């Protein structure tokens, strides 16, 4: 059973239906570590989410599902199914539904912006004011950097 405080912080738990029963799907630190052990990729790196694609890499997708199914019971982490079990349970009829549940559980586990910060991302460079007195290419002693022509390369000049 999920702790009430945890549910208050992250929202209601995401469930996935497998073999006619619902199972909680949560990407705790334990799940993140299991996924990295299976795939070599960290779920803390946004680019790695693109790799969790059922069509492109079903083994990675299954590893992500398997990791998220783990829960702690009496001090031990367990999943209700092995990866081999999951290979026999997932097919065209339920893969889409499972993918949606995985996406919800993964995004639910992501850090949320602080309430006082309604804009979690910085302004785009064009929207930021330019410094008034310091030239963009200045160095601390006041000398200026010379732009390098795009056609000149160090290999070509040697």
* Cross-strand partners of 18: 21
Percentage, residues of the chain above pLDDT 90: 51
Average pLDDT, the chain: 78
pLDDT above 90: residue 96: yes
End-to-end CA, the chain: 68
**DSSP assigned state of 112:** P
More confident residue, 58 or 10: 58
User: pLDDT for 18-59, tens place per residue?
Assistant: 988 999 999 999 999 999 999 999 998 889 989 999 999 999
Percent of the chain with pLDDT over 70: 63
């Amino acid at each position: 059973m999920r702790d009430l405080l945890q549910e208050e912080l992250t929202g209601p738990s995401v469930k996935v239906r497998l073999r006619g029963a619902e199972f909680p799907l949560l990407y705790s630190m334990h799940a993140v570590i299991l996924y990295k052990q299976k795939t070599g990729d960290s779920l803390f790196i946004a680019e790695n989410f693109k790799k969790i694609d059922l069509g492109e890499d079903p083994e990675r997708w299954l590893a992500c599902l398997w990791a998220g199914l783990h829960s702690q019971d009496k001090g031990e982490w367990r999943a209700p199914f092995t990866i081999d079990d999951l290979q026999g349970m997932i097919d065209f009829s339920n893969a889409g539904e499972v993918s949606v549940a995985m996406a919800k559980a993964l995004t639910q586990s992501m850090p949320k912006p602080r309430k006082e910060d309604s804009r979690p991302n910085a302004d785009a460079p064009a929207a930021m004011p330019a410094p008034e007195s310091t030239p963009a290419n200045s160095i601390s002693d006041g000398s200026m950097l010379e732009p390098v022509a795009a056609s000149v390369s160090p290999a070509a000049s040697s």
